[in-house]
Amino acid sequence: MQRFEYSKDRETANAARARALEALLIEKGVITSDTVDKIMAIFATEMGPFNGAKLVAKAWVDPAFKQLLAEDTMAAVEKMNFVTKGAGAEGEHMRAAINTPEVHNLIICTLCSCYPWPVLGLPPYWYKDPSFRARAPESTQRIRPEHRPLQGDQNLGQ
């Protein structure tokens, strides 16, 4: 109970600090009242896994689109109504790897941490982990379960 009260006070204090800071910066003309919303809109609506989900859902119900997605991913992305159009921020050269009951794909960036932000958002922390990047190509069976895209008979490619 003590701790709960403490957290609540702390939460209230932090909210007050953030609010005061924003008000002061607006008063000084450094930012405007919609600055934060503008910044956040980019993350909330323009790039993220919600774009990738739409691509996959469309491929599920539209065989021609699925084929295009596999053969010319960027052309398929262009057909979607994404604000980013897949361009910029690591999304210029995307290629979809479609899972089948026989083939499960594992995506690794052996160079650094390239990731298709426009369609998948920010990568999980382990994606950039050196041990994951080094060990994944050696053996997809030996890497930690949470690093595997699919386990057992799961098949998300259909």
State which of positions 117-146 bind other proteins (CB under 8 A).
117, 120-125, 127-129
Residue 16, CB half-sphere, CA atoms under 13 Å: how many? 6
| Nearest Cα residue to 72 out of 90, 92, 95 | 95
Stretch that binds other proteins, among 66-74, 89-97, 99-107, 139-147 (CB under 8 A): 89-97
Annotated catalytic residue 7: no
- 35 or 105, CB closer to other proteins? 35
Residue 149 engages other proteins in binding (rule: CB under 8 A): no
Among 8, 49, 83, 97, interactor with other proteins by CB under 8 A: 49
Any idea what the Cα angle at residue 54 is, between residues 96 and 91, rounded to 5°?
Answer: 45
d(CA 84, CA 99): 25
- 12 or 100, CB closer to other proteins? 12
DSSP state of 85: T
Any idea what the Cα angle at residue 158 is, between residues 147 and 102, rounded to 5°?
Answer: 65
Among 65, 72, 81, 92, interactor with other proteins by CB under 8 A: 92
Annotated catalytic residue 33: no
Count of residues touching other proteins (by CB under 8 A)? 48
Q: Which residues are catalytic?
A: 109, 112-114
